[in-house]
Amino acid sequence: MNILFLGDVVGRAGRDALTARLPGLRARLAADLVVVNGENASHGFGLAPDMARAFLAAGADVITLGNHAWDRKEIIPFLEEERRVIRPLNFPPGTPGHGFVVVEVPGNRKALVVNAMGRLFMEPLDDPFRGVQALLQAHPLGRAVQAAVVDIHAEATSEKQAMAHSFDGLASLVIGTHTHVPTADHRILPGGTAYQTDAGMCGDYDSVIGMQKGAASLRFWRRVPSEKLGPAEGEATLCGLFVETDDATGLARRVQAIRLGGALEAAGP
């Protein structure tokens, strides 16, 4: 199975780049499954239903969220209607929406996509490790599903790496989101799980993690959080990861970084 994962979409620049480039990128890579983290799509904070629909129409199969999941209140009823948009599974019981989805992919195959959020330097949510473990055990690779993707939306690199090593051999891909800077550690772990600490963002890199440089930088100079932040609006780079897996085992055979357009050095198959 060919899997394309694209990191956090930030603001209009990220949205426009994604909807313009994803159809062609999906076709060129012959991607069977496309997962997009969309939690910063609306002005850098949250995801609106119309944006989610546009991403799905452009070729995303699943949209994951994160700590900004609730910033656009109209997303709450939408999460109940559209199972392909998922929020972190380790929010408390009774929280709207779902933390995972199983989708059909071409060739009569199935893929599990899980969204989890870290706890170091973030909200004190339920344990993401036990939640992910339960889902992977309930959907074994090569039997119930032909692929399993885990988006671990976390601040700490150590927590993301611990998640990957904990489930090496049980997931096709464990990939980090949230910090918006693509890491250079994409690889296949000893047990066959593809991994990258952070996929990076789909946004303007002439910025401070996707936000306009001036106001974002002043927050560090002045320590006054009232400076209004807005997304940078220059040409965006699409950042993510491409993974090829073995259908029989669900494990990774090839992994390559994706960087397309904008300020960063291009990369991709």
Residue 201 covered by a domain:
yes
- Exposure pattern of 53-90 as b/e (b: 16+ CB <10 Å)? ebbbebbbbbbbbbbbbbbbeebeebbeebebbbbbbb
Do 215 and 224 meet the contact criterion of CB atoms below 8 Å apart? no
pTM: 0.97
Instruction: Tell me which residues are annotated as active site.
Output: 68
Pair of tokens at residue 10 = 């930030």
Q: Is residue 269 part of a domain?
A: no
The pLDDT score that the predictor gives to residue 86 is 98
In a domain, 267, yes or no: no
Which residues, in sequence order, are CB contacts of 28 under 8 Å at separation 6+?
A: none
Residue 226 is predicted with a pLDDT of 65
Determine, yes or no, domain membership for 266.
Answer: no
Note whether residue 268 is domain-resident: no
**CB crowding 93-121: b at 16 or more within 10 Å, else e:** eebebbbbbbbebeeebebbbbbbbbbee
Structural domains counted in the chain: 1
- Examine residue 148 and state whether it is found in any structural domain, yes or no: yes
Task: Kindly state whether residue 19 falls inside one of the protein's structural domains.
Answer: yes
Kindly state the DSSP code that residue 144 receives in the 8-state scheme. Answer: T
159, 119 contact by CB (below 8 A): yes
Answer whether residue 189 is part of any domain.
yes
Supply the range of the domain harboring residue 91.
Answer: 2-260
What pLDDT score was predicted for residue 219? 85
State the CATH number of the domain containing residue 49.
3.60.21.10
Encode the chain (269 residues) as per-residue pLDDT tens digits: 999 999 999 999 999 999 999 999 999 999 999 999 999 999 999 999 999 999 999 999 999 999 999 999 999 999 999 999 999 999 999 999 999 999 999 999 999 999 999 999 999 999 999 999 999 999 999 999 999 999 999 999 999 999 999 999 999 999 999 999 999 999 999 999 999 999 999 999 999 999 999 889 988 888 776 667 899 999 999 999 999 999 999 999 999 999 999 999 999 98
